């Protein structure tokens, strides 16, 4: 992989998109609006800092060691913004009284376990990279992010968002941005940015399913289930099964994700709608996984992983480019049988050309 090509620097990726925080910043409830404005300002400061300090970090993947184990360190920002903060739990230490710390530690472990057991990948870089997380970031911070080096979790405002360590798929989503950074390194704008977000949703959901022992038909295919506070009219941040249905709330608004290219959203917001249009490839993966059945991490997940790590994607690839790559990888690994036909059909059903 060419480390000097455009897009090879790590990007700042958040689970809650800016368009959602923009809406919350205009809420009538001053507690909700104030927390959203503070989160937006902090996100912008962090994003600017990443743009000025980011460097190429893509490294080749190496085969896992037979005895590979995670190397986790959890820090506490104590509601400040200095990273990484004070170390509160290291690898192998027993759980403490802080449930947030314990959930972060477990979530990092669950993500490591899925990539190791599912794809023989030793940590997110394939080379045993230590997993670092910071909890209790800022005051009422309504987001979680990957900054190119580590995971960071806010406590939420308690009005709209709860603690961001509650859903394991949120943690896995953000860590998968790290996997993408070290592999395909998809540029974070337009369709390649939506694919970047979608890949994180895919493996975030697979980590949740792996942790719960679920098959594709047993999974809820929700991203961030349990994150929304009681009283919010919604079940999660996104739905891979039914994009556009995750929430419909007076304060949050309605989930804007499309499930088909006919409804693709052209916008300059959110780097070209990376969190919105990701619903299209998300739905394609859901259709594939449920059609194939069994554990989604196996055939469906393996195809996506093969594409992500194959070194053949352009950093600015389109949905059609990615679809073709998944079709090719399905044929390469499984032949031109059931899996190959299911991939073609899944992309066709969401309106992405496969010719």
Q: What is the pLDDT of residues 227-236, one digit of tens each?
A: 999 999 999 9
**Residue whose pair of structure tokens reads 């917001």 in the numeric block:** 269
Count helices and strands (H / E) in the chain: 10, 10
Q: Are 222 and 152 part of one and the same domain?
A: no
Q: Which of 58-62, 93-97, 351-355 has the lowest mean pLDDT?
A: 58-62
Using an 8 Å Cβ cutoff, are 344 and 354 in contact?
yes
Distance CA 173, CA 103 (A): 15
Distance CA 201, CA 184 (A): 16
Rounded-to-5 percentages of helix, strand, coil across the chain: 40, 10, 50
In a domain, residue 4? The reply is: no
- Residue 62, pLDDT > 70, answer no
Cite the DSSP H helix spans in 224-293. Answer: 270-273, 279-292
Domain boundary among 124, 148, 182: 182
Angle between helix axes 299-309 and 190-212 (nearest 10 degrees) is: 140
Q: What CATH number does the domain containing 174 carry?
A: 3.10.170.10
Question: How many CA atoms are closer than 13 Å to the CA of 138, on its beta-carbon side?
Answer: 24
What count of residues does the chain have? Answer: 355
Closest CA to 19 of 200, 250, 268, 279: 268
Write down the pLDDT at residue 56: 41
The average pLDDT across 278-298 equals 98
Closest CA to 292 of 325, 341, 326: 341
Q: What is the pLDDT of residues 239-256, one digit of tens each?
A: 999 999 999 999 999 999
In a domain, residue 1? The reply is: no
Write down the pLDDT at residue 241: 98
Residue 103 structural domain = 13-182
Tokens of 279: 């619903």
- Residue 3, pLDDT > 80, answer no
Name the band, by pLDDT with cuts 50, 70 and 90, for residue 12.
confident
Total domains in the fold of the chain:
2
Q: What is the pLDDT of residues 311-352, one digit of tens each?
A: 999 999 999 999 999 999 999 999 999 999 999 999 999 999
The average pLDDT across 211-222 equals 98
Q: 269: buried, middle or exposed (CB in 10 Å: 19+, 13-18, 0-12)? A: middle
- Residue 65, pLDDT > 70, answer no
Name the band, by pLDDT with cuts 50, 70 and 90, for residue 46.
confident
In a domain, residue 325? The reply is: yes
Tokens of 227: 């994150």
DSSP 95: P
Q: Are 29 and 176 part of one and the same domain?
A: yes
3-state secondary structure of 26: coil
Query: Catalytic one among 275, 283, 295, 340?
Result: 275
Name the band, by pLDDT with cuts 50, 70 and 90, for residue 294.
very high
- Residue 93, pLDDT > 50, answer yes
Write down the pLDDT at residue 58: 44
DSSP 187: -
The average pLDDT across 47-61 equals 48
In a domain, residue 98? The reply is: yes
- Residue 218, pLDDT > 80, answer yes
- Residue 63, pLDDT > 70, answer no
Distance CA 54, CA 167 (A): 28
Q: What are the φ and ψ backbone dihedral angles of 75, each rounded to 5 degrees?
A: -115, 160
Q: Is 159 an active-site residue?
A: no
Q: Are 103 and 210 part of one and the same domain?
A: no
Q: Are 30 and 176 part of one and the same domain?
A: yes
**Residue whose pair of structure tokens reads 């950093």 in the numeric block:** 315
Closest CA to 203 of 180, 227, 229, 228: 180
Q: What is the pLDDT of residues 142-201, one digit of tens each?
A: 999 999 899 999 999 999 999 999 999 999 999 999 999 999 999 999 999 999 999 999
Q: Are 197 and 339 part of one and the same domain?
A: yes
Q: What CATH number does the domain containing 225 carry?
A: 1.10.390.10
Distance CA 124, CA 309 (A): 11
- Residue 29, pLDDT > 50, answer yes
Q: Are 142 and 258 part of one and the same domain?
A: no
Write down the pLDDT at residue 346: 98
Q: Are 153 and 169 part of one and the same domain?
A: yes
Q: Are 198 and 153 part of one and the same domain?
A: no
For residue 123, how many other CB atoms are within 10 A of its CB?
24
The average pLDDT across 217-237 equals 97
Percent over 70 (pLDDT), the chain: 92
In a domain, residue 303? The reply is: yes
In a domain, residue 231? The reply is: yes
Percent over 90 (pLDDT), the chain: 88
In a domain, residue 2? The reply is: no
Cα diameter, the chain: 57
Distance CA 182, CA 154 (A): 25
Q: Is 341 an active-site residue?
A: no
Query: Catalytic one among 136, 159, 173, 174?
Result: 174
Domain boundary among 155, 182, 209: 182
Averaged pLDDT of the chain? 92
- Residue 52, pLDDT > 50, answer no
Q: Are 172 and 26 part of one and the same domain?
A: yes
Domain boundary among 182, 212, 235: 182
The per-residue b/e assignment along 215-242, b for 16 or more CB within 10 angstroms, e otherwise, is ebeebbbbbbbebbeeebebbbbbbbbb
- Residue 42, pLDDT > 70, answer yes
The average pLDDT across 268-289 equals 96
> Can you say whether residue 97 is alpha, beta or left, with left for phi > 0 and alpha for psi between -120 and 50 degrees?
alpha
Q: Are 215 and 136 part of one and the same domain?
A: no
39, 87, 264 from 44: Cα distances, Å: 9, 26, 26
pTM given for the model = 0.93
Write down the pLDDT at residue 61: 47
């Amino acid at each position: 992989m060419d480390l000097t090509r455009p897009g090879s620097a790590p990007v700042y990726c958040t689970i809650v998109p800016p368009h959602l925080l923009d809406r919350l910043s205009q809420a009538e409830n001053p507690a909700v609006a104030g927390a959203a404005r503070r989160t937006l300002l902090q996100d912008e400061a962090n994003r600017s800092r990443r743009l000025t300090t980011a460097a190429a970090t893509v490294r080749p993947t190496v085969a896992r060691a037979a005895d590979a184990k995670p190397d986790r360190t959890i820090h506490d920002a104590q509601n400040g913004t200095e990273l990484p903060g004070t170390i509160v739990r290291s690898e192998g230490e027993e759980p403490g009284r802080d449930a947030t710390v314990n959930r972060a530690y477990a979530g990092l472990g669950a993500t490591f376990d899925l990539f190791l057991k599912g794809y023989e990948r030793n940590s997110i870089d394939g080379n045993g990279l230590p997993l670092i997380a910071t909890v209790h970031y800022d005051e009422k911070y309504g987001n979680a992010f990957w900054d190119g080096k580590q995971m960071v979790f806010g406590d939420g405002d308690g009005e709209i968002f709860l603690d961001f360590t509650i859903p394991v798929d949120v943690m896995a989503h953000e860590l998968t941005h790290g996997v993408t950074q070290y592999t395909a390194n998809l540029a974070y704008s337009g369709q390649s940015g939506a694919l970047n977000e979608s890949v994180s949703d895919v493996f975030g959901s697979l980590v949740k399913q792996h942790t719960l022992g679920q098959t594709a038909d047993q999974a809820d295919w929700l991203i961030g289930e349990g994150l929304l506070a009681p009283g919010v009219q919604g079940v999660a941040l996104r739905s891979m099964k039914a994009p556009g249905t995750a929430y419909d709330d007076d304060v949050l608004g309605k989930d804007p994700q499309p499930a088909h290219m006919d409804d693709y959203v052209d916008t300059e917001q959110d780097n070209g709608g990376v969190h919105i249009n990701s619903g299209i490839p998300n739905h394609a993966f859901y259709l594939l996984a449920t059609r194939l059945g069994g554990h989604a991490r196996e055939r469906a997940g393996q195809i996506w992983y093969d594409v992500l790590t194959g070194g053949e994607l352009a950093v600015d690839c389109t949905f059609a480019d990615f679809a073709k790559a998944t079709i090719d990888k399905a044929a390469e690994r499984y032949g031109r049988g059931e899996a190959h036909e299911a991939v073609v059909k899944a992309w066709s059903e969401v309106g992405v050309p496969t010719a």
